[in-house]
Structure 1
Amino acid sequence: MAQSRRNLSGVWVVMWLLASSIAVGLIGCGRNADPWAGMQGKRVAVSFAPLYCFTKAVAGDDCAVLPVLTTDGPHDYDYRPKDVIPLRNADLFLINGLELDTFAEGAKRGARNDRLEVVRLAEVAIPPEQLISVDVQKKKVEGEHVHGSKDPHVWLGPPEAILMVRKIVEELRRLDPEHVEGYQKRGDAYVKRLQELQAYGRKQLEGKKHRGFITFHDSLRYFARAFDLEVVGVIEPHPNVEPDPVKIARLAKEAKERQVRAVATEPQYNSGPAKKLLEQMRR
């Protein structure tokens, strides 16, 4: 048991670092009548937290950045009219695309900001051949959550995140030519951090025999590809819909057969199903 825990350390370090890299910077984004009040420069809205992190890292203090979603993720978001407020006076709206943040178009219409341009980063920054295909029919038959024919969770793979950051640099340079040097410098620095993160993770995982893991929901395939890991199974086929005992038992059986050493959870969701799975895996 002690040896297997040591074998897991590299996986957990990589997962923790990547999770940290997409969660920084959300403090201080409270709502008020004018969320842009006191902010200087061009105004860039983004759909959700990871894109905020990328964009803010590139923007620095040269332009203002606000997320539309501050406490919800795109999977379990319920549209609220007040959430269009940042878009009313925004100059640019950066979203993921690939049928993930589908609320964005409705939010734009609700904002009644005719000059607002929407950029779907995942669709314009990442070559189609680099996107992971999804067997839509199979997922529907198995009752799983489906976004579209391509996996939209691109920001969780460092190579894809790098392309998104470079596109953000391009968009900010175009929007605000006065600060092109700053955007480029900060973007290059952030890309370097992502490259170092991937190199560190791959180094930590060198020589690991058991490279399979189970995810909470089907979101870590780009992450797995970047670190030469394998997603063996998914706990929740739909976000916020807990699996039945039969699925948990089936996952536990497969995990033991495949000698799975890690289960990836998500802090915003109930960890109960993952704990039940781990209990059965240890029997």
Structure 2
Amino acid sequence: MKKTMAVLLALVLALLPLGGCASTGEETPRARLQVVASFYPMALLTERVIEGVPGVALHTMAQMNTGCLHDYQLQPRDMKILENADVLVYNGAGMEGFIGRVAALRPGLKLIEASAGQALLESAAHEHEHEDGHEAHEEHHHGDANAHLWLSPKRAMAQVENIRDELIAADPEYAQVYRENAQAFLQELEQLDGQVATLLAPCQGQGVVTFHEGFTYLLEDYGLYQAGLLQTDDENAPSPRYMAELIDHIRQEGIAALFCEKQYSTRLAEAISRETGAKIYTLDTIVSGPGGRDAYANAVLQNAQTISEALKK
């Protein structure tokens, strides 16, 4: 019996982790500064600014399959992330409707609005409401502004500057590192701006029909214009009257390309394509992706290349 017990004890000890303790061991120390990005594009911009700063951790709140955050409701997972956060970087311009609630729940949390100070275009959904004579419902109103500034590198540069300045205010000890990181990233974005300008220069003055208003800043910043939207409301299909008017407009303007988004169905575009002969192309709103240092630039450049190829006459 004693021999049997000795064997069993040896087996148990062999299965225990080194150190002879069956607990989880030492806990990972909490980061000195917990930074949360509201969603994927804000994480891409913030990541480059905090790169290599000691003791800073970055978390992304909304999961990547969420898309834009116009009507996003805070999830238990988000509240858990925010519970220990020191800083929240968000797009602003009406994109994150939950910011007021977050500010009330976490009064000590530093909020960084990446779009602060930028001149904003009016939301196409807001314009359409006025045209139809309908009032917006408060629970589904996207605000008066188009919030999709990150899709144009010109606007993204201003967002990076805001993120840099506010992180320096929150963590002044490492101000120089934040400045150097931001400067290197801004130089890359300036080069990206030049590449996009070169690609879209032959397309200047042309009208573009996109799935929704996400690309209006990109178009206007590089000499094109928004000629129509396939969808003006995230939840409701466009009316038959709107569809008929859009089809007539596409025919009259001779628009040969329709731009959908990889996060959404192409059903509407396919219907309009059958009526007008316009070809369908896909753009990326950069609300999901593989991540990485070059993820933002690669996605923007791919969008510009797609528009350029589609509009070449």
> Into which bin does the TM-score normalised by the smaller protein fall?
0.7 to 0.9
Select between 230-239 and 190-199 the one with higher mean Cα deviation.
190-199
Superposition deviation, residue 121 in structure 1: 2.4
Letter in 2 for 1:47: S
Q: Judging changes above 3 Å, is the alpha-carbon distance between structure 1 residues 90 and 250 closer, same or farther for their aligned structure 2 residues?
A: same
- Say yes or no: does 1:268 pair with 2:263: yes
Select between 225-234 and 89-98 the one with higher mean Cα deviation.
89-98
The 8 Å contact of residues 208 and 225 in structure 2, kept in 1 or not, is answered as yes
Select between 154-163 and 231-240 the one with higher mean Cα deviation.
154-163
What is the TM-score normalised by the length of structure 1? 0.75
**Structure label with greater radius of gyration:** 2
The 8 Å contact of residues 38 and 90 in structure 2, kept in 1 or not, is answered as yes
- Say yes or no: does 1:233 pair with 2:228: yes
The 8 Å contact of residues 198 and 227 in structure 1, kept in 2 or not, is answered as no
Cα distance in 1 between the residues matched to 2:188 and 2:170 = 25
- Say yes or no: does 1:117 pair with 2:134: no
- Say yes or no: does 1:156 pair with 2:151: yes
Cα distance in 1 between the residues matched to 2:129 and 2:217 = 18
Once the two structures are superposed, the pairs formed by residues 23-42 of structure 1 within 5 Å of their partners are 40-42=31-33
The number of residue pairs the alignment matches comes to: 241
- Say yes or no: does 1:53 pair with 2:44: yes
Cα distance in 2 between the residues matched to 1:141 and 1:216 = 19
Match of 2:129 in 1: 139
Match of 1:65 in 2: 58
Structure 1 gaps of 5+ residues are 1-36
Q: Judging changes above 3 Å, is the alpha-carbon distance between structure 1 residues 275 and 194 closer, same or farther for their aligned structure 2 residues?
A: farther
Letter in 1 for 2:115: A
The 8 Å contact of residues 249 and 277 in structure 1, kept in 2 or not, is answered as no
Cα distance in 1 between the residues matched to 2:94 and 2:230 = 22
SS at match of 1:265: strand
Cα distance in 2 between the residues matched to 1:202 and 1:137 = 28
Partner deviation per Cα, 1:63-108 (whole Å, 9 max, x = no partner): 2111211131303423323321111111111222222201122234
- Say yes or no: does 1:100 pair with 2:89: no
The 8 Å contact of residues 198 and 226 in structure 1, kept in 2 or not, is answered as no
The 8 Å contact of residues 76 and 239 in structure 1, kept in 2 or not, is answered as no
Q: Judging changes above 3 Å, is the alpha-carbon distance between structure 1 residues 80 and 213 closer, same or farther for their aligned structure 2 residues?
A: same
Letter in 2 for 1:206: A
What is the TM-score normalised by the length of structure 2? 0.69
Over the matched positions of the two proteins, sequence identity in percent amounts to: 24
Letter in 2 for 1:40: A
